[in-house]
Amino acid sequence: QKEVEQNSGPLSVPEGAIASLNCTYSDRGSQSFFWYRQYSGKSPELIMSIYSNGDKEDGRFTAQLNKASQYVSLLIRDSQPSDSATYLCAVPRGSGGSYIPTFGRGTSLIVHP
């Protein structure tokens, strides 16, 4: 089983809609979860982190975590064409003080006007 799984997409939504991006992970002991945005040819940019079950909101972004289901999602409200990018889910794996951020394949989001 892959450590971090994401639907590669593309996910296409109209401008102003809610985009919902999903991620599942295999390590039940994981305690921190991150969403990165990556524009084509650029580096991953951290946009959200979440550590506890439930929702965490930051502007137009909401991260949702369900540890029992090993599922983390990212909602983007009022999607803009500038949100078009690949969204990477990252879950640190490891133990004993050494945790390596491990990335999913990423979901490509296209927001069309």
54 vs 65: CA distance, rounded Å:
5
Of positions 18, 53, 94, 112, contacts another protein by CB under 8 A: 94
Q: Is 103 among the residues that bind another protein (CB under 8 A)?
A: yes
Q: Is 29 among the residues that bind another protein (CB under 8 A)?
A: no
113 vs 98: CA distance, rounded Å:
44
- 8 A C-beta contact, residue 74 and residue 67: no
Binding mask 52-81 for another protein (x = CB under 8 A): ------------------------------
Of positions 13, 23, 24, 34, contacts another protein by CB under 8 A: 34
Could you tell me the smallest distance in angstroms from the CB atom of residue 77 to another protein?
22
41 vs 85: CA distance, rounded Å:
10
- 8 A C-beta contact, residue 76 and residue 83: yes
3-state SS class at 83: helix
The contact set with another protein (CB under 8 A) reads: 31-32, 34, 36, 38, 42-46, 49, 51, 88, 90, 92, 94, 97-106
